[in-house]
Structure 1
Amino acid sequence: MTAMTNRDIQHIFESLRKGLVPERGIDAFAVGIEKLRGEMERQLELAEGGEGTIKFLRGGYGCGKTFMARLSLLDAQTHGFATSFVVVSDNDLRFHRFDDVYRKVMIELGTNVCPRGAMGDILDRWIGKVEDALIASGEDENADDFDAKVRKRLDDDLASMTGGQAPQDFIRVIQTIFDLKQQGNAAEAGSLISWLCGSGNVAASAKKAAGIKGDITSRDALDYLRGVLEIVKAAGYKGLVIVIDEAETILRMRKDSRHKSLNGIRQIADAAGSYPKMLWVFTGTPDFFDSRQGVAGLAPLHDRIQFMKQGRFASLRQAQLELTPFDAERLRSVAVKLRELYPTNDQSRIDSKVSIEFIDRLVDEVTKGFKGDVGVVPRQFLRQFVTQLDLVDENEDYDPMTEYGFEPQDLSSEEQLAISGAALTQGDGDDDGEPPVAEDIW
């Protein structure tokens, strides 16, 4: 487990109070997922060894897909990878447009020293490594031609790393960013970094400086991502891990967008092996993977990543990694971990008032509130549990055993359905056959 700071601890509890998965510190209360975490570690080892790979996390609502994905990203950063965490949305991320996906990947690009929007820092680290290498080979950093030698080395390295496959605009932008930085023009260099990250709101003057006109297109975005991956590695990182969370959102899109999005995932899966040291991680529900509106309706993708199970056994190493629902014992273990972690000046009172007996009662009452479905209760359970810790910490005379009564708050659609006992349905119901498998969207 990584060392915990007070800021990390505060972040954990603030996130849980809002019903959200914390973005850091979550390994402190990760229980019951050791084998799953081990498989994701194996994927990181494959990527570190030079493989380009892809993994799909499958599980129903409340199984901890987002938690597992975020934990995998934290583990990746600990191993020296750059990472990006993208949530599929039908509002600001049209997954069938890869320029949208690329833009979100770049916005969320992070490292262990720069958690978000890290492209500028990664470029600086790459340039610094090139400068250090030249100095180590005997070049004088104060010589008039030193910058020209650095620029040439950057150009040579970029051509070598990308095998000449990077778009020419990509090359020109990198060159111009370096020139502008050396001239002290940080503003225009920053504008070009924004353009490189997929922004469509870059001043014409910055584009003119680099000799570019338009924006990154959907068809070019994968090639740009290849260039970014090589710069990430040249900057000293082990590789790149990209999470695409909540892929089941695609099921709620219009039929044409859904088909194109599934075809996009098929293209990512097909191309993954040609991106050495990059790991894609997708999360989705069984309905997303198994229904005709989802992966099962696109034969080329389904054949490649289909989930196989022998009785109650499923290999962890297949394309889809199955996350199983919480049970009462796992909820109890998470609660005990959080109780130990809770920031208080009187730990003994917390332990006494929020006892194991109360934790068991809380598990029972929240589960009853959701018609006995333990698998769907974790988010509400953790919110309720943190509230009880807060009330005990804030009020000396508060006794949760006598005062507590379960009242679900801010229910998600899945939680509302669980309480009502209705079935969860997704998609628009107008699917009349397989998606067009031959269409090349990107």
Structure 2
Amino acid sequence: MTSITGRDVEHIFESLRKGLVPERGIDTFAVGIEKQRNELHRQLELVGSHEGSIKFLRGGYGCGKTFMARLALLDAQARGFATSFVVVSDNDLHFHRFDDVYRKVMTELGTASCPRGALGDILDRWIGAVEETLVNAGVDDTADDFDERVRKRLNEDLVSLTGGNAPEDFIRVIQTIFDLKQDGNVVDAGALISWLCGSGNVAASAKKVAQVKGDIGSRDALHYLRGVLEIVKAAGYKGLVIVIDEAETILRMRKDSRHKSLNGIRQIADAASSYPGLLWLFTGTAEFFDTRHGVAGLTPLHDRIRFISSGGFASLRQAQLELKPFDTERLKAVALRLREIYPGQDRSRLESAVSQEFIERLVANVTAGFKGDVGIVPRQFLREFVTQMDLVEENKDYSPAEQYGFKPTELSTEEQTVLSGTNGNRESKDDELVPTEDAW
């Protein structure tokens, strides 16, 4: 088990108490997913060697898709990548508008040292690297023309790195940000960084400084992402990993939005190899991938990423990486790991009260509460397990073996479906195939 800070431990248990996947420290209780994790490590090696790639995590509710995606980002940051974690939403993220996707990617852009909104820090690191390169080449950093030399080198690097394909506004805004920072105008520089991140709330006065009008549009967003990717690499990072979580949300969108969103994924998949250093990682349910109102309804995309199995075996290296449901032994193993890192004052009492025998009983009781479906219980089980450890920690007279009783609470839609015994498959009244025209 890797070392973990006290702050991360607190974050883990606070997240689990709320039924959420922690954002840090999750490798300490990642069990039973070694093969899938190794495949994602292989993907990181590919993009780290200047390849562009896309991967799809496939699994039912409770299989740990979000957990696996979060773990992939932590592994990526540990290997020197910048990352971004985006959740598909029909409220604040319309996936059929790529300017919306770009804005969320940039908002969630992070590194090991800067968890969110890291573009400003990345730009500073890149500018610092350019300055260091010039100084090492013998240029006097106290000379009057040093800033102009740096500015010229930044422009040359941008044109070279992007193959001359970066939008003119992109290059001009980068140059202006550098000039403003050198002049000490951090307010306008910050405003232009926000504009570069896709914000639509930047004052016209700040945009006027860089001679740009309007905001980044849907058709230009991929080109801006290419420019950001190259800056990320020029700043010393190996590349960029973008997670698009809960892609199945697209199935709940209106027909026109759903069609455009699926076409958007097709365009990303088609272009992935032309973005060296970038890994796209989508998560989705089998319904999203296999039904006619999902990926299977868009033949060009389905043909490229379809899931293939033979005799119950599926290659980890195909486009879709399958995550298996939890089983009893895996739940027990996770519980033991969590008990090991729980920040309790009386370790011997915790291990005695929350014994392996009690853990086995808890697994059985929670599973029974969901009609024996082990795969559906991880969220409820982990929340219940942490609650039992909290009760032991807070109350000297509390005995889980004598006083524990489980009843499912705050059920998700999927959990309600299991308990009700109804068919969870959504019947689509509009089962038309997805049109093949470009969306963006």
TM-score range, shorter chain: over 0.9
Tell me how far 1:440 sits from its aligned partner: 1.5
Q: Does 1:287 align with 2:287?
A: yes
- Superposed, which structure 2 residues align to 1:264-343 within 5 Å? 264-343=264-343
TM-score w.r.t. the length of structure 2 is 0.99
Gaps of 5+ in 2: none
Q: Does 1:441 align with 2:439?
A: yes
Letter of the 1:434 partner, please give it. Answer: L
User: Secondary structure in 1 aligned to 2:279?
Assistant: strand
Paired residue for 1:74? 74
Please give the alpha-carbon distance, in whole angstroms, between the structure 2 residues aligned to 1:370 and 1:64: 17
Please give the alpha-carbon distance, in whole angstroms, between the structure 1 residues aligned to 2:156 and 2:270: 29
Letter of the 1:441 partner, please give it. Answer: A
Paired residue for 1:166? 166
Tell me how far 1:425 sits from its aligned partner: 3.3
Residues 112 and 427 of structure 1, relative CA distance in 2, 3 Å threshold: farther
Letter of the 2:439 partner, please give it. Answer: I
User: Secondary structure in 2 aligned to 1:321?
Assistant: strand
Does the Cα contact within 8 Å between 1:251 and 1:426 map onto a contact in 2?
Answer: no
Letter of the 1:436 partner, please give it. Answer: P
Greater Cα shift, 197-206 or 409-418? 409-418
Paired residue for 2:413? 413
Does the Cα contact within 8 Å between 1:253 and 1:428 map onto a contact in 2?
Answer: no
Please give the alpha-carbon distance, in whole angstroms, between the structure 2 residues aligned to 1:7 and 1:428: 46
- Superposed, which structure 2 residues align to 1:352-367 within 5 Å? 352-367=352-367
Letter of the 1:383 partner, please give it. Answer: R
Does the Cα contact within 8 Å between 1:253 and 1:427 map onto a contact in 2?
Answer: no
Paired residue for 2:153? 153
Letter of the 2:343 partner, please give it. Answer: P
TM-score w.r.t. the length of structure 1 is 0.99
Paired residue for 1:200? 200
- Superposed, which structure 2 residues align to 1:4-43 within 5 Å? 4-43=4-43
Does the Cα contact within 8 Å between 1:252 and 1:427 map onto a contact in 2?
Answer: no
User: Secondary structure in 2 aligned to 1:218?
Assistant: coil
- Superposed, which structure 2 residues align to 1:86-97 within 5 Å? 86-97=86-97
Please give the alpha-carbon distance, in whole angstroms, between the structure 1 residues aligned to 2:289 and 2:186: 46
Please give the alpha-carbon distance, in whole angstroms, between the structure 1 residues aligned to 2:20 and 2:67: 10
Please give the alpha-carbon distance, in whole angstroms, between the structure 2 residues aligned to 1:252 and 1:427: 11
Structure 1 stretches of 4+ with a deviation exceeding 6 A read none
Paired residue for 2:232? 232
> For residues 60-87 of structure 1, what are the alpha-carbon distances to aligned partners after superposition, in whole Å with 9 as ceiling and x for unaligned?
0000000000000000000000000000
Please give the alpha-carbon distance, in whole angstroms, between the structure 1 residues aligned to 2:36 and 2:185: 47
Greater Cα shift, 322-331 or 416-425? 416-425
Tell me how far 1:429 sits from its aligned partner: 2.4
Give RMSD over aligned pairs: 0.8
Please give the alpha-carbon distance, in whole angstroms, between the structure 1 residues aligned to 2:2 and 2:226: 31
- Superposed, which structure 2 residues align to 1:420-431 within 5 Å? 420-426=420-426, 428-431=428-431
Please give the alpha-carbon distance, in whole angstroms, between the structure 1 residues aligned to 2:101 and 2:229: 15
Please give the alpha-carbon distance, in whole angstroms, between the structure 1 residues aligned to 2:3 and 2:228: 30
How many residues matched?
A: 440
Tell me how far 1:160 sits from its aligned partner: 0.2
Does the Cα contact within 8 Å between 1:96 and 1:260 map onto a contact in 2?
Answer: yes
> For residues 242-274 of structure 1, what are the alpha-carbon distances to aligned partners after superposition, in whole Å with 9 as ceiling and x for unaligned?
000000000000011001000000000000000
Paired residue for 2:253? 253
Please give the alpha-carbon distance, in whole angstroms, between the structure 2 residues aligned to 1:377 and 1:49: 39
> For residues 207-228 of structure 1, what are the alpha-carbon distances to aligned partners after superposition, in whole Å with 9 as ceiling and x for unaligned?
0000001100000000000000
Letter of the 1:386 partner, please give it. Answer: V
> For residues 339-391 of structure 1, what are the alpha-carbon distances to aligned partners after superposition, in whole Å with 9 as ceiling and x for unaligned?
00100111111000000110001000100111111000000000000000000
Letter of the 1:270 partner, please give it. Answer: D
Please give the alpha-carbon distance, in whole angstroms, between the structure 1 residues aligned to 2:311 and 2:428: 32
Paired residue for 2:177? 177
Tell me how far 1:134 sits from its aligned partner: 0.6
Tell me how far 1:430 sits from its aligned partner: 1.3
Greater Cα shift, 421-430 or 311-320? 421-430
Letter of the 1:33 partner, please give it. Answer: I
Does the Cα contact within 8 Å between 1:86 and 1:243 map onto a contact in 2?
Answer: yes
What percentage of aligned pairs have identical amino acids? 75
Tell me how far 1:58 sits from its aligned partner: 0.2
Please give the alpha-carbon distance, in whole angstroms, between the structure 2 residues aligned to 1:429 and 1:333: 43
Please give the alpha-carbon distance, in whole angstroms, between the structure 2 residues aligned to 1:191 and 1:337: 45
Gaps of 5+ in 1: none
Does the Cα contact within 8 Å between 1:240 and 1:279 map onto a contact in 2?
Answer: yes
